[in-house]
């Protein structure tokens, strides 16, 4: 079985402006989750939900997608053996899933999220 893309994230310097932009451009519902971050619900069949907010520590903005895996640590070990680099995690999101971030061999940031059926 493959590992599906289950979440996307758009972050930048002005969370409110980004949220308004995506809400108006695509008719997405924005639901505040934590300060300076909202969950984006496209509401379309077959689409995935995501998040729009402020970049951590005022850093540069980016777009990330998250791949669902059964074991974050094992996935990161495989990624590192293939030339990728662990960036963060595994870590628990308050009230949410366990996640990790890695950079692929060219430096593109990608997220991992622990499969819901495997969460403790």
Q: Residue 112 is part of a domain; what is its CATH number?
A: 3.10.180.10
* Residue range 46-61, pLDDT digits in tens: 779 999 999 988 888 8
Instruction: For residue 113, give its domain range.
Output: 5-118
* Residue range 11-44, pLDDT digits in tens: 999 999 999 999 998 889 999 999 999 999 987 6
pLDDT score recorded for residue 108: 87
User: What is the signed CA dihedral for 42, 63, 3, 77, rounded to 10 degrees?
Assistant: -150
CA–CA gap between residue 8 and residue 66 (Å, rounded): 6
CA–CA gap between residue 45 and residue 8 (Å, rounded): 16
The whole-model pTM stands at 0.77
Total count of domains within the chain: 1
């Amino acid at each position: 079985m493959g590992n599906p893309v289950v979440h996307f994230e758009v972050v930048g310097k002005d969370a409110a402006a980004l949220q308004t932009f995506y809400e108006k451009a695509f008719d997405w519902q924005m639901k505040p989750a934590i300060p300076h971050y909202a969950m984006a619900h496209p509401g379309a069949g077959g689409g995935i939900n995501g998040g729009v907010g402020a970049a951590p520590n005022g850093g540069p903005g980016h777009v990330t997608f998250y791949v669902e895996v059964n074991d974050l640590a094992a996935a990161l070990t495989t990624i590192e053996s293939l030339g990728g680099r662990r960036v963060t995690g595994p870590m628990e999101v308050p009230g949410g899933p366990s996640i990790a971030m890695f950079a692929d061999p060219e430096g593109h940031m990608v997220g991992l999220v622990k499969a819901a059926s495997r969460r403790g």
